[in-house]
Structure 1
């Protein structure tokens, strides 16, 4: 097995209490066009950049159709402990969100549909770690990793919580999809408002799902995203709407828009790859999001357009959520509320995917 380089240390390493010197401004690297991404290296972490996430969503067909799952690991370089000489200084913070959408049985004694979610957080070298040469990030027993096997490469997802757990393998059925210009994905009108962005649609899911103590065999399809950046929100942006869809027949569609406080679009983009592998990119003028129906959260007070019409060039799509209440409220390391849920997509193209809506319960802070 290939040796991997990790930023990690023994968990029993004694804590060091050091006085922090005066902070100098952090020189985060900028995202720029023309960088050639290389794999598996760029599946790994990019710790110089301010923010990074590895994101997997999926729709299961068994043990129950339209069961949705999400597992996201985030890495943040907050810039608050750069000068400390401790190996456990909080220079790199890792946190993770996991969710499971349970659609509910349509039987006489039906269990209501529900969203289950859990979270973890730790600093690198103190209960968490990441590889800088391949995708391998963990917080305790939660882990997302890529492996090379004789039969080919795969990803593995592992997480556990009192209400639900899963251990999934994700097997690619098609090549990586580099978003934007070879992975350079604009998020605003300024060239610095960008991320490096890699997707892997149409991953075959197999493994084990445990819900309320019941272990079941699971299978379905998933979508993998990996992004790293320094700045993606301009001063007017409060959040974004994002959609990633595994299309019926084998294609893939990604679309997003950045929104201001009035819910007007500041910037938008979309990528469509058909089942034959042909890719089309759509600029902001060709992409629009129109709310069709809102759902309001009694917890946060936010109102989310859970059904939307999305126009992409000549295509017209409509989202239909499996469950209206797919709002996640996380508290570690800081409070954040957003809607992230499994939806059916109908219209010019059809499939299942995840709709993510941030900034509806207050401006998103990265």
Structure 2
């Protein structure tokens, strides 16, 4: 009954979100169409009709149809132990507003994975100037202009991490776009999107009552806007490379499995550069089928770049996250190793495969 109620609420939110998205699309298209034509100039981008990305003000919640704050990465202990951390807050606004938290912790020594989720109506967040403070069932995701805090508990494990706000901010943009921090997905809507790829992190991981100090760098993503998360699926990579650069790549596909877009951003301490068409290609490799859900995922990939070829392999293939009780979807999210022309580590997310059934995204 709890599951059915959660799904019913999610469906109401999705319906309202789609209605809101359609209205916003009409208003935005009308605004762009009303812009006076200028001879010899490129067509006006739809993203240019929206307010520009402004930080740190845009760290805070926006009340858009969909918004999420996302952290992932691998933390290490002094004795050599390593742990993969994934924590995210989703806020969906429609006729019903709800807030969802997902968290997973993987012990990379044993392969033991701990995962949990929670959902509540409304937005249980305290007001923070240029930040946010979500607290739900003992969990916490807090941010201010100077620090972030993550806390989550599982059955037999917990995460407690403080993060510094330093390093570059990457405002992603689509190939050919002149608008930083905004991505146009066509009929699926428009999304603001920026990252802080290397937030210094320090805290503790506790497993079976034993706490271990850990440190490292976590990747932070913030995305929001009037976009439809049900019309597209994606393969998403957030990678720390050993030369100090960071690579974000995403491939979008429709619910027939047809590739829609492949793009990304290569960044370092000196700045960032969007990958242009033809500069990045994803090559699917080994698949893994979940024994619990029967969903098949491409868990090994090759990434073709102008600088070389990267091999992406998961630490553990079993990294499926079943969030049916909170967001009515199932996705794959886990730590990966990078080899090939460069080495490194990071996270891979595979979303939308549950809506394709057990088939894999097809390639044209």
Q: Deviations over 1:53-98 (max 9, x none)?
A: 0000010121654420000000001x22xxxxxxxxxx32000100
Q: Would the aligned equivalents of 1:193 and 1:233 in 2 still touch at CA under 8 Å?
A: no
Instruction: Name 1:37's counterpart in structure 2.
Output: 53
CA distance in structure 1 between the partners assigned to 2:272 and 2:187 by the alignment: 23
Instruction: Name 1:214's counterpart in structure 2.
Output: 210
CA distance in structure 1 between the partners assigned to 2:144 and 2:217 by the alignment: 18
* Aligned counterpart in structure 2 of residue 142 of structure 1, from 139, 143, 148: 139
Q: Would the aligned equivalents of 1:195 and 1:232 in 2 still touch at CA under 8 Å?
A: no
| Post-superposition offset of 1:330 | 1.5
Instruction: Name 2:300's counterpart in structure 1.
Output: 307
Residue segments in structure 2 that go unaligned for 5+ positions in a row = 1-15, 29-45, 174-178, 358-364
Q: Would the aligned equivalents of 1:327 and 1:338 in 2 still touch at CA under 8 Å?
A: yes
CA distance in structure 2 between the partners assigned to 1:130 and 1:337 by the alignment: 29
* Aligned counterpart in structure 1 of residue 192 of structure 2, from 196, 208, 212: 196
CA distance in structure 2 between the partners assigned to 1:172 and 1:346 by the alignment: 29
CA distance in structure 2 between the partners assigned to 1:171 and 1:249 by the alignment: 22
Q: Would the aligned equivalents of 1:306 and 1:321 in 2 still touch at CA under 8 Å?
A: yes
Instruction: Name 1:107's counterpart in structure 2.
Output: none
Q: How does 1:148-227 map to 2 (within 5 A)?
A: 148=145, 153-180=146-173, 181-186=179-184, 188=185, 190=186, 193-227=189-223
* Aligned counterpart in structure 2 of residue 254 of structure 1, from 239, 248, 267: 248
* Aligned counterpart in structure 2 of residue 58 of structure 1, from 58, 73, 77: 73
TM-score between the two structures when normalised by the length of structure 2: 0.79
Q: How does 1:95-110 map to 2 (within 5 A)?
A: 95-104=100-109
CA distance in structure 2 between the partners assigned to 1:29 and 1:53 by the alignment: 19
CA distance in structure 1 between the partners assigned to 2:204 and 2:309 by the alignment: 36
* Aligned counterpart in structure 2 of residue 243 of structure 1, from 224, 237, 244: 237
Three-state SS of the structure 1 residue aligned to 2:281 is strand
| Post-superposition offset of 1:129 | 2.2
Residue segments in structure 1 that go unaligned for 5+ positions in a row = 1-22, 81-90, 105-111
Q: Deviations over 1:194-215 (max 9, x none)?
A: 3100100111110011112211
Q: Would the aligned equivalents of 1:252 and 1:272 in 2 still touch at CA under 8 Å?
A: yes
* Aligned counterpart in structure 2 of residue 46 of structure 1, from 62, 83, 100: 62
Three-state SS of the structure 2 residue aligned to 1:175 is coil
CA distance in structure 1 between the partners assigned to 2:198 and 2:55 by the alignment: 19
CA distance in structure 1 between the partners assigned to 2:353 and 2:20 by the alignment: 30
- Alignment length (residue pairs): 312
Say what the alpha-carbon RMSD is for the aligned residues: 2.5
Q: Would the aligned equivalents of 1:270 and 1:312 in 2 still touch at CA under 8 Å?
A: no
Instruction: Name 1:92's counterpart in structure 2.
Output: 97
Instruction: Name 1:115's counterpart in structure 2.
Output: 113
Q: How does 1:124-135 map to 2 (within 5 A)?
A: 124=122, 128-129=124-125, 131=127, 133-135=130-132
Q: Would the aligned equivalents of 2:114 and 2:154 in 1 still touch at CA under 8 Å?
A: no
CA distance in structure 2 between the partners assigned to 1:339 and 1:70 by the alignment: 11
CA distance in structure 1 between the partners assigned to 2:133 and 2:56 by the alignment: 11
Higher share of residues assigned helix: 2
TM-score between the two structures when normalised by the length of structure 1: 0.78
CA distance in structure 2 between the partners assigned to 1:131 and 1:304 by the alignment: 39
Of 91-100 and 332-341, the range deviating more from structure 2: 332-341
Instruction: Name 2:5's counterpart in structure 1.
Output: none
Higher share of residues assigned strand: 1
CA distance in structure 2 between the partners assigned to 1:348 and 1:45 by the alignment: 39
Q: Deviations over 1:248-279 (max 9, x none)?
A: 242211000111345442111110013x4232
| Post-superposition offset of 1:130 | 5.3
